[in-house]
Amino acid sequence: MICKVKKTLCRFSMLNGATEIIVGFSGGADSTCLLYILNSLKDEFNLKIHAVHINHCLRGEESDRDENFVRDFCDKNSIMLSVLRADVLNEAKKAGQSVEEYARNLRYDYFQSLSTETSKIATAHNLNDCEETMIFNLARGSGLKGLCSIPAVRGNIIRPLIECTRDEIEIFCKENNLQYVTDSTNLTDDYTRNKIRHNIIPLLKELNPSFDTSFLRCVTALREDEFFLEKETEKFYNSINLDFGFDADVLSRADNALKNRVIAKIIYDKCKSLPEMKHIEMVVSILSGGKAEIISGETIVVRRGILYFLSDLVCKNFTEEKIIFSGNVWKNDFVKLELNNECTQKIYKDMVLSTLDWDKINGSLFLRKRHDGDKITLPVRKVTKSLKKLFNEMKIIPETRDSLIVLADETSVVWVEGIGADSRVVPDKNTRKFINISMVD
């Protein structure tokens, strides 16, 4: 058993960079086995072991019994222990959450509060827990991610017993004279997970006595597929991520599997909550144009081929004015202009030039919004285009176009935010005085 756990630790690189393992210790067979094994390996891996127990105060004297057992076990084995007591029932009601959800969040929040950059958090989830979770997720209509069940590693959380069965764990405890406590709620069918454990899993094992082995083979293959799709999702997500919003036209043409995953990531990154399939389908339905209200009151809009969140629209409000330098500097809340004898600006991404030749400015310089008919000649391609056409090509959201800063002299536009300088005023080898332009954070 210890060898099996060591193989799991190595296969999933669970201990990379770790100097401390925070072990969730309920006192049950799984966590007792895990704590015992990790404590026996601490010298080999040069680790500090820190056990953590949460008393949820849900089972009266039984909860206190578990806490006393945990304290006694850690004391006898010289293991550092932290205990948190919480009135989960009442706190869950105040938070408007189920008891299970609140208790889970409480546990992981407490684990994380005790961790450092070199800590790993070990929980005692085993192979049978994975089976129950997959069946539970299957019943709820989960996709591939849900069918992958409990991951072996998630951030700094590791599960060294993830490939061990509950039978193996109980045999190990017996062989090593490890006492443990039993949560009486695990013996009833009051909870969905218990119904799966007591009724469905035994039927599956009647159909296939080697169900545990078959399940492990199945879930391993599913996780490999999920890992590949996650990498492809990240690549595609980055490819359609524009300066503002996402390219809805390209997204709409993607394969459904990739499309749905990217939409889920877009929603999660914004809302920090996993979307349901109905939210994803709502977004798919508006990719050609429209809007949909999703999680937390957020509204997704698709317009002119751009997908964006309504709450992300930030329109600058500024006054059109003639620029008169005070010394060598002029600035407002959004942009700063500085006269200099040197070119201090660089060529930005997308060839956004932020330096002008002062001597090429014709008459006065004005800061304003775009006007109908405004044009600019791009320095690199020497092509003259209207701002309207450029904004369309660059997929700039219509609602934000009138808040982009335009600099113009008495002849024409000389610089546009997000586009850069007109070729007429770009510095050259003869330039002696520069106007360096920078946006104010």
210-219, 341-350, 400-409: least confident range: 341-350
The 10 Å Cβ neighbour count of residue 299 is 12
Q: Specify the pLDDT at position 184.
A: 79
Residues 248-260 have a mean pLDDT of 95
Residue 50 CA to residue 22 CA, distance in Å, equals 5
User: Residue 65: which pLDDT band, with cuts at 50, 70 and 90?
Assistant: very high
Report angle CA 5, 70, 128 to the nearest 5 degrees. 40
**Of the ranges 284-288, 345-349, 387-391, the best mean pLDDT one:** 284-288
Q: What is the dihedral of CA 133, 2, 8, 55, to 10 degrees?
A: 40
Name the phi and psi angles at 46, rounded to 5.
55, 55
User: Residue 190: which pLDDT band, with cuts at 50, 70 and 90?
Assistant: low
Residue 54, pLDDT above cutoff 80: yes
Q: Work out whether strand 153-154 and strand 299-303 pair parallel, antiparallel, or are unpaired.
A: unpaired
% of the chain exceeding 90 in pLDDT: 73
Average of per-residue pLDDT values in the chain: 91
Model confidence pLDDT, tens digit, residues 320-366 = 999 999 889 999 989 999 998 866 555 433 334 788 999 999 999 99
The structure's pTM equals 0.70
Residue 22 CA to residue 31 CA, distance in Å, equals 12
* Beta-bridge partners for 300: 292, 309
Name the phi and psi angles at 10, rounded to 5.
-75, -45
Residue 412 CA to residue 293 CA, distance in Å, equals 42
Name the phi and psi angles at 249, rounded to 5.
-65, -45
Would you call 428 helix, strand, or coil by DSSP? coil
User: Residue 46: which pLDDT band, with cuts at 50, 70 and 90?
Assistant: very high
Residues 64-85 have a mean pLDDT of 96
Q: Are 352 and 418 in contact (CB under 8 A)?
A: yes
Name the phi and psi angles at 157, rounded to 5.
-100, 130
Model confidence pLDDT, tens digit, residues 153-170 = 999 999 999 999 999 999
Residues 113-136 have a mean pLDDT of 96
Question: Is the CA virtual torsion 372, 245, 287, 301 positive or negative?
Answer: negative
Q: Are 411 and 404 in contact (CB under 8 A)?
A: no
Instruction: Count how many residues are written for the chain.
Output: 441
Structure-block tokens of residue 363: 């008459």
Helix, strand, coil shares, percent, the chain, to 5: 45, 20, 35
Structure-block tokens of residue 208: 């296939």
Would you call 238 helix, strand, or coil by DSSP? helix
Contact residues for 293 (Cβ-Cβ < 8 A; gap 6+): 299
Would you call 329 helix, strand, or coil by DSSP? strand
Q: Specify the pLDDT at position 187.
A: 67
Place of tokens 């909550």: 273
Residue 176 CA to residue 163 CA, distance in Å, equals 20
Structure-block tokens of residue 198: 């007591």
